[in-house]
Amino acid sequence: MDSELISQKPNYEDYFNALTFDPEEIERIGVCIICQSDDRIHLFGTAPLEIVRCRCGFIYNAARPNEPALEQFYRASDAMDRWLNIKETPFEINRQQLKFAPVAQDLKRLGVKSVLDFGSGPGVFLQYCLDEGIKDLSAVECNAMSRKALERVTDKIFSDLPLHGTYDAITLFGVLEHVTDPRKLLIACLSRLNKPGYLVICVPNAGSEVVATLWSRCSTFCPQHLWYFSFSTLDRLMAIVGLGAPISTTTIEPEALPVLRARAGLHPYES
């Protein structure tokens, strides 16, 4: 990422400062979705961001916004308007290219003909699929709702589970950490994959060097992120729902710069 792009980094704090929820919108989560235990320790924070670690090692938000509050947040909040504006900046467009373009290329190389993008936002990933010649595209609205270009790049839109039809690939970019029941979603996706089929999952990595270094200051932790997966806990969840071991895993975001900035006493994310 060149120096000119880095100098144009948007002000993410403007978005995070707009993440507000009322006390009556908070719900408490009783058990871990990995091991079904309620044996956990408090790590940091208070509602709407009370981060705990289960005895099995899984980290999640135990006092978080309830589903109606989250739906209202994604559909009509000032924070989401700011986030969608941020996603259109040159810096974020470059980040999206680093994330989406290789996946679209890999799916094309694997012979994928049909793709369902769950949580498609403005449809950037699907546009990359079109650029690769994959034309049988569908989308499910989820969280960052499609307010802009989604209808332009998709053939059809589904509004909710259960899903309809089958696909060579289903992609979930930044989805599992937002949904209230990741198990239900993964099972539904598995039931809609052709054989052979591919499931692409992208989540913040709670086991990353950035999280280990910055901890409670890390932007990974925010109220609308309900679950905090690492490679190992995501593997366990996939095994629970019958997906088996992943074919490959990779880290998208470089970790060195925010870690070095934090260790130098600087803001880890600002330019």
pLDDT digits (tens, 9 = 90+) for 62-113: 999 998 898 888 878 888 888 888 888 888 888 889 899 999 999 999 999 9
> What are 111-145's pLDDT values in tens digits?
999 999 988 777 889 989 999 999 998 877 654 44
Which has the minimum average pLDDT: 140-144, 184-188, 208-212, 239-243?
A: 140-144
> Contact, 72 vs 83, CB < 8 A?
no
Percent of the chain exceeding pLDDT 70 equals: 87
Backbone angles phi, psi at 10, to 5 degrees: -70, 165
Q: How far apart are CA 185 and CA 176, in angstroms?
A: 8
* pTM: predicted TM-score of the whole model, two decimal places: 0.86
The pLDDT, as a whole number, for residue 163 is 56
Question: 49 vs 45, 52, 188, 203, CA distance in Å?
Answer: 6, 10, 28, 18
pLDDT at 47 over 50: yes
Average pLDDT value for residue range 244-270: 80
